[in-house]
Structure formats: C-alpha cells, structure tokens
Chain A
C-alpha cells in the first residue's frame, strides 16, 4: 500500500460525493456516509439544508465553489457535524451540482467542549465585570450619600448653633428686662423697658414662627385659604411697614403697581404678605444705600385664573454666583458671616420658595455681588375682580390726594418715638413740628396756629394730663384744639381721667400707623367739613349752625327766629351771671350756667358752650373760685363777638 492509497483510504471513509441536477434530481452518490433515499421528488425536499439554499445554489456560476463549515444536521439518520462543499459543474453532459460532504463530527464535538468553556468563562467574566461596576457605583453612591449626610449634619449643627444663639439672645434680653421692670419704680424707665420687652418678644415670635412654618411645610401640613382680598391694600400694608426702617437707613423704598392689576383677588392674603415681608425684610437688611423696589404686574387674567408677578429688587450687597443655587435651601445663608452679622434662621427663603410653589407659582433670583439682588416670583390665584378706575401708580411715600391736610404738633419726650411719629405724619403729607416737653408744647401753641396736637401721656415736667388741662383752661384760641393722647396705659383708665377735659381721641402704644392715620384724618375731616360752610369763622370765635340747620331742615327763616331769641336772651343771661357772681350765689349761678350752655351749643357757639361746661364743673365741685369771674368775662366777650356777627348775617334759604 503506497501513500496515495493510504490517503485515499483515509479521506474516503469520511467523505461522500453526491451529484444532483439543478432541479434537485439525484444523479449519483457514493453513499460512503449515508444512503441517499429518494422518497420525495427532489433532494431539496429531502434535506432541509438544501431546501434553504435552493436559490443560492441556482445562482452559482459554473465552476464556482461554495463552502459551509460545521453544519450540524441529521442526514438520513446520520446525525453529526459536516463541512459541505458545493461545486457547480457538468456531469454526464448536463449542468449539475457536486455536493461534497466531509464528516468532521469527531473533530467538532471536541471543539464544542472547548467552545463551551470559552463562552462560559466569558459570560462569567462579563457578570463579574458588571458586578464590579455595580459595586463601584454603589460605593460611589454610598460615598455621595455619606458626604451629603455629613454636609446636612454640618448644616444642621451650624443651624442649631446659630438658632440657639438667635433664640438665647432675645430670651436673655427678656429675662434681663423682666428683672429691670421688677426692680424699677421710675415710670419712664418702666415704659422704656416695656417697649423694649415688646420689641424683643416680636423678634422672638418671628424666629419661632419661621421654625414652625418650616416644620409645617416639611410635614406637608400647611394649608392655604381661598378668600377674596384687596390686593392693593395688602401691598400697601406690607410696604408701609418698611418705610420707617428704610428712612432710618437712608434708602428709598419704591412701590410700582401695574395699572391693570385686579382690585380683589381670591387667595391667601396672609401667605402673600408673609412672602413679601420676608423678601422686603431681606432687602432692607442687606441694603445700606440706594433703593428697594417692589413691582407688581399682571401676567395673565382669565376667568378662573389670575397670574401675578412680584419683583423685589435692591441695590444691596448682593449674593455671590456660587451661592445663588443654594440660596433657597433650608438652613442656608449666603455665608456664615451673613448669619453672624445679620442673624436669622436661614429658613426664610426656603419658606418663601415653598409658599410660592405650593400656590402653583415659581421663584427665581438674580444677583450680582456688590450690585444688588432681584427676586422675581409668580403666583396663580383662582379669580379676580378688575378695578373700575385703577390707579396707575401707587407709591408708599405718597399720601392720598383725598386726605385732609393740616398742621400737627407732636409732644413726645422719647426720641425714637418722636422721630417715628414725625416721619409717619410727614409721609402722610402733614406739616409736623415736634417738641419733647409739656412746657414746649404750651410755647409752640402760643405762637403757632395748629390743627391737631398729638400728646404723650408721660412726659417730664408737665405730663400729658397737665398739658391738656392747661390748654383747655386757657382763654387762647388753642383752648379747643383737638388733642390726641398717646398712651401706654389701659385706654379705659386714661379715657376716664381725660373725660372732663373733653378729649375723646386716644391711641394706645405701640402706635398702629393705620389707626393713628385714621384718627387724624377723622379729626381733620371734621375741621375741614366745618370750614366748608357750616361754620362761620369770626376771628378766633366760631359759630356752627349745623345743628340748627339739621333740625330745621335748612329752613333759614326758622333758624333766624331762633337766633334772634338767642340774641335777645344771651346778653341778659350774662348780666345775670355777673349779678349772681357778685352775690356769690354759686348754686343759682350753676343753674344759670347749665341752662345757658345748652343755648350756646344749639346755636353752635361751641367754644362758649365748652367754656360754660368748665365753669359748671368748677361750680359743681366748688373749685377754682378765683377763675369764675374770668370765665364769665370770657363768655361775655365771646358772646359779644358772636352776637355782632350773627346780627350782620344775611338770612336766606
């Protein structure tokens, strides 16, 4: 056996040759590996592999060869791995396909185990790699969480340290002031300490409210009311409360309201105020020069939704860019320095943001270090009523044109309160003078024509009561000046004491600007109303015919008859008063005075009526006997003037 024979013998036993026509008809097979059975019409139907390759085999060119390694198939019961070679060529003169089948089952089965190991190893490697990546990611996340936890812990520690300091300071103050109050008998000091105590409690309350608000928001327990409220009034109240602080710092507070703002909107006025107080408070806190501006505009207005935009800008210290993104985070302040210098909980802006967002709004901040800060926020409200005659511009600094004007004297010894009142009155458009003692009040009154006197109850030298008594007892024109008493006492106590001085206007300290403004306007309006024609001015004497006009329905002839009765009886009554004085018949004099004073009041000679009131009181209490004659003479003088003037009047309906 030669080498060629050995080779053929080796190849022959693993190789089969099959020849079939292009149509799939078997043309020949050596059947070395399997016997080709033609149970079906074509080989394509017999062997799935061939069935799937029909088109490809047809497309081959003559002489072209196509190889398919490692085909796992069952060929007529002979299952194994084969390499197929197809060669298109002529067979017995016809176009045919030579299909060479090499059985490499033994070889490939050995390969399977190697391939299995390789694949399993790679898949395992992949899983290990994935697991490693996951562990790495988990570690990174853990590190991040730890760092964040540590950061929050530090922030909270710092916050509690700050807040502890912030709460302890006013608490210590309260404790100290309570001790001072307990140990002082000095009324002025007591007043000073009580006011300081009030201010400290207000500050402490604000801090505690911040903390409670924050906790409420965090616990999702904050609620919003939906009630109609006057938008302009709310904005005015908020901005007015910052006027004094702005004046004190020498900064300008500007309020700009868009002309198309609705008058009434439906929402939570308290929450809006809280937001604005916070932002304006910060603006005032961080601004030492320049201005603060509150602008409100209408973004959209539909039947069921009104969106407003609020802008609060200042020319203050500003915020560094890298701090801006954290400015709304809880417990954050721009710097630790901020906390030390300006105090506060660091919760304010977080509360603002939450309040805005919980009302369906948004807030953003722009700032430049050293140049100021602007907060812009929008809030959606459910509904609105549009104003019929909108005010295009409202400034808190401006007073309403309908407010009456007047000259007001403030008698107040406390410098701070004096300045606060002075600035308030000035802001409201009045002419204002201030003095610090009762004596000075009397001096100014003697030299200046004034409309209203604001008088502190507690003053050195002459207290409010003594000053008011002196004024009322005076025969000067200022004797009937309207007096508003400022008092820290219980109003009922003070009012009782002042009743006999014909003073009905009292303002309890701390002064509520709105209340005071209302009171001054009422007093001045009354004066203006009188001056508009119901009062006849006669130098220092005035006759107010309004009562008679009212009861006589404006019938001037009937009024004239009544005045004529008065004109004839008044001189007689005064003459009788002199007689009774000469006889020192005080009882009869008191009866006559009582009877006469009503006539003067009906006719509207109020100053004389009041003078007779005083005389009657003196007679009743048997006091000031030395002043009886003086008062009778004052009555006589005033009556003479009134009579002269009334006689000159032209009576017509």
Chain B
C-alpha cells in the first residue's frame, strides 16, 4: 500500500493533537495535553488512486518550524499548518513560515488550517480571513469535527495527484 508522510506544524496549543484525535478516533477533549517530540499515527484513507496510508507526524508545537529538528521534516509529502483562530500570535507570522516551508519542501502540498472555528462568529471569521496571506484557508473545528475529514481527504488527493 502506498504510504505518505504528513507533518502537522503550528504553535503550541493550536489543537494539532485534538485535530488528529478527531480524525483518528472521532473524539475531543477540552483538556490541554502538550505534545513533546513527535507522535506518529497511521490512518488508511481512500483516494481515487486506491487506499493510501497517511502516516501523520504530530510534531510538538513551536513558535517557528525552525525550532523543530530538521530530520522530522525529512521525506514529508504533505504539510498541515494549523493555527488557532482565537489567538493572533498563532497566525501573525504565517507569511514567513509558509514561505520558508515552501523553500525547504518544494512541491509539497500545504494545507493552511484555522482551528477553533466554533469559538468565533462569521463576522470575526471574515475579518481574520481578510488578514491572512493565503486565500486557500480551511476553517475547522476539532471540537465539532467540522471540515476535519474534508481537510485530510483534500490533502490525500493533493498528495497522490
């Protein structure tokens, strides 16, 4: 079976682990448990090219991907960059972060994800969207599961394309 390495990046507390948990087990917990190093999970998803094993690297949150061991990013075939819609500090440097990643991992699809959509109203979401450097941003909620499946499905398609 075809396997693809997907890394999850983003500042601590943005909900990367909650996102994986929702995707893997359809579960959510309000308790914040920090991640150290990297936790690896595997899930088989179906694509038009057949089943695909997504090996998901849930990497401990840092203020910049530069603080993460370079070996973690080695061989990545998909990136999910997660930020917290309710914390400006998690997306104010997105431009530079994404630009760095594109240089480091050229031709690797990047999904930009704003988590905790459930905490904001539509007007606030529009205001935030207007400030973001990329038009293609997926707003999700790891709590409710909104757009979570779609996010991984779209990335899987992008990786096998």
Contacts and interface: CB of A to CB of B under 8 A. Distances in A.
5 contacts: A68-B69, A115-B34, A119-B13, A119-B61, A122-B12
- Chain B interface residue number, banded: 20 to 34
A81 interface: yes
Nearest to A122: B12
B12 A52 contact: no
B35 to A, nearest CB: 8
Q: Which of A53, A54, A115, A123 has the most CB of B within 10 A?
A: A123
B103 interface: no
B144 interface: no
B74 A72 contact: no
Interface in A66-97: 66-73, 81
Given A56-B75, A66-B74, A69-B69, A51 B36 contact: no
Nearest to B84: A123
Interface stretch (B37-45, B126-134, B150-158): B37-45
B38 A52 contact: no
Given A123-B13, A126-B87, A73 B71 contact: no
Contact of A69 (B37, B40, B42): B37
A278 to B, nearest CB: 41
A123 B42 CA distance: 29
A51 B42 contact: yes
A130 B86 CA distance: 10
Given A53-B5, A115-B60, A119-B13, A72 B34 contact: no
Interface of B: 3-5, 12-13, 32-42, 53, 55, 57, 60-61, 69, 71-72, 74-75, 87-89
A48 B38 CA distance: 13
Given A66-B71, A112-B34, A115-B34, A52 B13 contact: no
A70 B71 CA distance: 12
Contacts of A111: 36
A108 interface: yes
Contacts of A115: 34, 36, 60
Nearest to A45: B1
Nearest to A86: B71
Given A69-B37, A116-B33, A51 B55 contact: yes
Nearest to B54: A52
Contacts of A126: 87, 89
A244 interface: no
Given A44-B3, A54-B75, 13 more contacts: A48-B53, A48-B55, A52-B40, A52-B55, A53-B75, A55-B75, A56-B75, A68-B69, A72-B37, A73-B39, A123-B13, A123-B32, A130-B87
Nearest to B90: A126
Given A53-B74, A120-B32, A126-B89, A72 B42 contact: no
Contacts of B69: 67-69
Nearest to A113: B34
A628 interface: no
A53 to B, nearest CB: 5
A560 to B, nearest CB: 98
Nearest to A58: B75
Question: At the interface, is chain A mostly helix, strand, loop or mixed?
Answer: helix
A73 B74 contact: no
A81 B36 contact: yes
A242 interface: no
A134 to B, nearest CB: 11
A49 interface: yes
Contacts of A53: 5, 74-75
The 9 tightest CB contacts between A and B, nearest first, are A70-B37, A56-B75, A52-B55, A52-B5, A48-B42, A72-B39, A116-B34, A119-B12, A51-B3
B36 A71 contact: no
A72 B13 contact: no
Contacts of A66: 71, 74
Contacts of B12: 119, 122-123
Contacts of A119: 12-13, 32, 34, 61
Interface string A626-644: 0000000000000000000
A68 B40 contact: no
Contacts of A52: 3-5, 40, 55, 57, 75
B87 A72 contact: no
B88 to A, nearest CB: 7
A54 B32 contact: no
Interface string A104-131: 0000100110011001101100110010
Interface in A300-353: none
Contacts of B57: 52
A116 B89 CA distance: 18
Interface in A393-425: none
A72 B38 contact: yes
Q: Which of A81, A115, A120 has the most CB of B within 10 A?
A: A115
Nearest to B88: A130
Contacts of A67: 69, 71
Interface in A532-556: none
A129 to B, nearest CB: 9
A69 B34 CA distance: 17
A233 B88 CA distance: 64
A52 B54 CA distance: 8
A98 to B, nearest CB: 16
Contacts of A116: 32-34
A647 to B, nearest CB: 103
B7 to A, nearest CB: 9
Q: Which of A54, A66, A116, A119 has the most CB of B within 10 A?
A: A119
A68 B33 contact: no
A508 B89 CA distance: 81
Given A51-B53, A53-B5, A72 B71 contact: no
Contacts of B55: 48-49, 51-52
A125 B110 CA distance: 30
A77 to B, nearest CB: 16
A170 B39 CA distance: 87
Contacts of A70: 36-38, 60
A101 to B, nearest CB: 14
Contacts of A56: 74-75
A135 to B, nearest CB: 16
A64 to B, nearest CB: 12
Interface in A472-527: none
A66 B72 CA distance: 10
A51 B41 CA distance: 11
B80 to A, nearest CB: 14
Contact of A49 (B13, B40, B60): B40
A640 B41 CA distance: 136
B37 to A, nearest CB: 2
A54 B41 CA distance: 16
Nearest to A84: B71
Contacts of A73: 39-40
A124 to B, nearest CB: 10
**Which of B37, B40, B74 has the most C-beta atoms of chain A within 10 angstroms of its own C-beta?**
B37
Nearest to B7: A52
A103 to B, nearest CB: 13
A70 B58 CA distance: 12
